[in-house]
Amino acid sequence: MAQAPRIGDQGRYELIEEIDSGGMGIVWRGYDTVLDREIAVKIIRPDAIGSPAHAREFALRFRREARVTARIGHHGVPQVFDALLDQSSYDRLYLVMEYVRGTSLRTVLAGAGAGAGADGSGTSLLPVSWAASIAAQICTVLSYAHAIPVVHRDLKPDNVLIAADGTVKVLDFGIAKILRSDVTRLTATGNPIGTSRYMSPEQINCGRITPLSDLYALGCVLHELLSGQPVFSGDSDFELMRRHVDMPPERLRTLRPEVPEGLEALTLELLAKAPEQRPADAYAVYERLVPHLPLPGTDDGLSALPGMDGRAPAGVADPTVVYRQPNAPLRRTAVPSPAAEPAPPVPPAPAPVPADTVLRDAIRDAYARSADLADDGRFTQAADVLKAVIGPAATALGVQNRRVLGLRRQRAAVLMAGEDYRRALPEFEALAAVYARTAGPSSRETLECRRSAAGCRANLGETAAALREFQEVLELVISAEGDASVTAIDLRRNIGILLYTEGDRVTAEGVLDALHEDMCVVLGEDDEETREIADLLLRLRRPEG
């Protein structure tokens, strides 16, 4: 297996796969090998930095800006962890950032507009409540930033992400200032470069940049969210800039009649050519958006407001949920975190084909690499290494092949070892169901998966469900192995401790007393685990109070 490239002191940051590229550089998904977490690494293009002679100053300037940006202190701004300069050539800067799973607003807009009717009916436009919710969340982020003050300078759909829980993330704060992308540059022929569809007139005219410049860009974004098209288009960058400076925008209700008058008026004010004619600040914009947000307690962001047509794009988290169910707890049936992903899709069941040498090597290398990472305490990355080979193996061998199931069990075990019980639990339960069908409900594999699932539930605080599972598994183990086998003793120990945790001292004492007698015979009185149960019994028998 080829070694993944690394950057940073002692190769701390490991680059796994390229996930995006753009005008500023390339973005990789990677891992912080010290903290065992996913990261995003943005590699800034050398020509964006300037000459190698200026690279050191550029890196220092970025670190200063990153410290200021870190003061924003809002969950809608992904953190920047580090800025590293390539010491070999001093022409490349690596920005190490928080990795956020989600969907770019640019992708959302492209999908929403893809099915719009030729008659301009816009039947596939985003729901108005979605547009208002996205803009309102951006306002919240901007209000925190502008209070410092930090001006984004490059707000556009490409720099906005809808995360897996529906929260909106604004990316690349401070980057525009460092790269000076707000400054209009001209080529030798006088043609402008580096312009944007979302750039304020004062930026185009090289005027003073203020928080009100971000509000103009927000107006461009809100207009596009509601109408499905940019405020202005042009055959050239020069023409596009001229329209931003001189031309009034088309009214939203002309493009989409059901847009509320209040939203149209707000968008026009945001797009005012003179900064002083725009709303006073991001909070003022948020207040104007509030009447168009769904109310708390409503079940559906589409039905929360009457007459709000539009279609929610498939596969995108609902941005209205933060207003409909503010600060809601994590649903047990939902994806537990942006890093958690569903099990690999089940492909059609073609006749399994023998694994070729490449697949065998990939599986072997995945086991070895995962074991090394787990030994180093990097459980998240260890689980992902196994996950990467499960899909190809399932396609080649069949989803119920023992090697595929073995990979899945190992991945679940790694997640459990890393105390990621919420991700490990559904995998153990799914595996138990597969093994029960293929090997029988009393098979060793089925019982081990059920036992692990119960352990996950116990650690998640689902004590009653964990007790039931442990007790059912224990009955099957006793019928096959007796009550003094290693597995039975471990199950009885877990049951006794859970009963004690639940406050059922009488039942717990009975279970642990019988267990202690058997452990003295099987393991000996001086065994560490035997002494642990003896100590627990002493505490149980000590008078309360």
Residue 60 sits in which domain range? 6-98
Query: Is residue 363 in some structural domain?
Result: yes
For 101, 108, 152, 344, 539, the CA distances from 163, given in Å and listed in that order, are 6, 12, 20, 21, 48
CA distance 140 to 144: 7
- The CATH number assigned to the domain holding 369 equals 1.25.40.10
Q: Kindly report the backbone phi and psi dihedral angles of residue 141, in degrees, each rounded to the nearest multiple of 5, phi listed first.
A: -65, -45
Query: Is residue 343 in some structural domain?
Result: no
Q: State yes or no: is 483 an active-site residue.
A: no
434 and 294 in one domain? no
139 and 183 in one domain? yes
Among 32, 82, 91, 154, the one annotated catalytic: 154
182 and 167 in one domain? yes
C-alpha triplet 42, 46, 51: angle, nearest 5° = 140
- Residue 14, amino acid: E
254 and 153 in one domain? yes
Positive or negative, the Cα torsion across 464, 405, 385, 169? negative
Q: State the greatest distance between any 2 C-alpha atoms of the chain, in Å, as a whole number.
A: 92
- The CATH number assigned to the domain holding 145 equals 1.10.510.10
CA distance 266 to 223: 10
Positive or negative, the Cα torsion across 27, 33, 38, 39? negative
For 58, 61, 193, 247, 430, the CA distances from 241, given in Å and listed in that order, are 28, 29, 11, 10, 56
Query: Is residue 389 in some structural domain?
Result: yes
191 and 90 in one domain? no
- The CATH number assigned to the domain holding 71 equals 3.30.200.20
223 and 114 in one domain? yes
Query: Is residue 426 in some structural domain?
Result: yes
Query: Is residue 1 in some structural domain?
Result: no
258 and 178 in one domain? yes
Distance in angstroms between the alpha carbons of the first and the last residue of the chain: 60
147 and 284 in one domain? yes
423 and 411 in one domain? yes
384 and 482 in one domain? yes
pLDDT of the chain, 545 residues: tens digit per residue? 567 788 888 889 999 999 887 666 788 999 999 999 999 998 876 666 666 666 667 767 667 767 777 778 899 998 888 878 776 655 677 888 899 989 999 999 988 654 444 344 444 799 999 999 999 999 999 999 998 888 898 899 999 999 988 999 998 886 656 555 444 443 333 333 334 789 999 988 888 889 999 999 999 999 999 999 999 988 888 888 999 999 999 999 999 999 999 999 999 999 999 999 999 999 999 999 999 999 888 876 554 444 445 678 888 889 998 999 888 776 654 444 433 444 445 555 455 445 478 899 999 999 999 999 998 888 888 999 999 999 999 999 999 999 999 999 999 999 999 888 889 999 999 999 999 999 999 999 999 999 999 999 988 888 889 999 999 999 999 988 888 888 999 999 899 888 887 788 889 889 998 988 889 988 898 888 899 889 888 888 877 65
Query: Is residue 170 in some structural domain?
Result: yes
Say how many domains are in the chain. Answer: 3
